[in-house]
Amino acid sequence: MKLTRISGTREEVAREVAGVFAGYYGEGGEKVGPSPYVGGRKAALVALEKFSVRGYAGSRNKLGGGVSRLSFYIRHGVLGLREVAESVRQRFGESYDSLKFWQELGWRQFWQLVYGRLGHRIEEDLEPAKVNLGKDFADELPEEIRQGKTGLVCMDECVRELVETGYMHNHARMWFASYLIHFRKLGWKVGERFLYRHLLDGDPASNGLSWQWVASTFSHRPYLFNQENIQENGGKQWCERCRVKCPFAASYPELEQRLFS
Ligand SMILES: Cc1cc2nc3c(=O)[nH]c(=O)nc-3n(C[C@H](O)[C@H](O)[C@H](O)COP(=O)(O)OP(=O)(O)OC[C@H]3O[C@@H](n4cnc5c(N)ncnc54)[C@H](O)[C@@H]3O)c2cc1C
């Protein structure tokens, strides 16, 4: 790629950069344009002001639910945690939805504190796994996963959104991590690196410790999901388009038996 010197107003520079990277090839070889998410303090304040916490508690687990999508700004210090929490308090008071939202901000703060205390130690298992995670973990993600071509529409669509926009919904992150760690036995590090590379909010603490939380090396049990969970929170349209045998179509006891015994 030829690099050129770009100057002008912020908007002009943003337009130029978007032009340079439009059609940049993603991991899957497909053309990927600039992310629809706009950076900068001005955009962050608009997004914060637009965010309504009403219904957050009940809908945040659904892919189409009312999440804030403020993580990019928070991650890069464009918005402060306190500032975000206070904006919600002023506009919506101490409602149940506000409390649930603050709890999530609390998770972010908690991961940061753990990272602050343990530093690079979070790059290794913090506790023994509570279940059999397998061994001989992969150094590289299998190509069909990176390219979103596993045939499992739910997983492929999560990867597509990640690569194209730099965002993945929290529940999708949990499904994807669980799929890689528990269904594919690839280990958590290889998936952690993949997400970190693509997420606009990629953060060593929130990302690394969440992967360990799913794996059960920083939680008391592994995170598992099944087809019913995907359909309830992601909708049925993925399953309707899927043409491969679903590894998630089972009850939780059945999955535990199959994956961990
Ligand atoms: C495997 C995995 C990897 C993750 N990697 C990252 C990462 O690299 N960077 C990152 O910021 N978050 C990460 N998260 C946490 C969470 O998925 C994102 O913060 C959230 O999806 C961002 O979207 P949002 O701003 O719309 O969230 P909202 O639901 O609107 O939440 C508001 C804010 O609270 C914080 N938050 C919400 N959920 C969590 C959570 N579970 N843990 C920590 N903080 C949370 C974020 O700062 C977020 O912006 C990860 C979660 C998982 C399961």
Examine the domain organization and report whether 176 and 238 are in the same domain.
yes
Distance (angstroms) between ligand 1 centre and the Cα of 242 equals: 28
**Helix 41-50 × helix 81-92 angle, to 10°:** 30
Domain count, the chain: 2
Mean pLDDT lowest among 16-25, 50-59, 166-175: 16-25
* pLDDT, tens digit, 9 for 90 and up, residues 95-144: 999 999 999 999 999 999 999 999 999 999 999 999 999 999 989 999 99
CATH number of the domain residue 224 falls in: 1.10.579.10
In a domain, 53, yes or no: yes
* pLDDT, tens digit, 9 for 90 and up, residues 1-25: 666 777 888 778 878 887 877 777 6
**Residue 130: per-residue pLDDT:** 98
**Residue 35: per-residue pLDDT:** 84
C-alpha distance from residue 128 to each of 118, 200, 216, 217 (Å): 16, 30, 8, 6
Residue 223 CA: which ligand 1 atom is closest? 53
**Probe residue for ligand 1, chosen from 74, 86, 108 as the CB with the greatest number of ligand atoms within 8 Å:** 108
Examine the domain organization and report whether 169 and 220 are in the same domain.
yes
| Structural domain for 85, as ranges | 27-121
Examine the domain organization and report whether 178 and 106 are in the same domain.
no
Distance (angstroms) between ligand 1 centre and the Cα of 175 equals: 14
In a domain, 131, yes or no: no
Distance (angstroms) between ligand 1 centre and the Cα of 173 equals: 9
Tell me the mean pLDDT in the region 39-59: 97
**DSSP state letter for 25:** E
In a domain, 209, yes or no: yes
Task: Write out the H or E segment, with its range, that includes residue 31.
Answer: strand 31-32
Examine the domain organization and report whether 147 and 240 are in the same domain.
yes
- % of the chain residues with pLDDT over 90: 84
Rg (C-alpha) for the chain, rounded Å, is: 19
- Would the pLDDT of 224 be above 90? yes
Last residue of a domain, one of 88, 121, 154: 121
- Would the pLDDT of 28 be above 80? no
User: Is 156 a known ligand-binding residue?
Assistant: no
Last residue of a domain, one of 90, 121, 152: 121
**Probe residue for ligand 1, chosen from 170, 179, 182, 233 as the CB with the greatest number of ligand atoms within 8 Å:** 170
Residue 74 CA: which ligand 1 atom is closest? 47
Examine the domain organization and report whether 116 and 33 are in the same domain.
yes
Pairing of strands 24-25, 31-32: antiparallel
Cβ-contact 149, 156 below 8 angstroms = yes
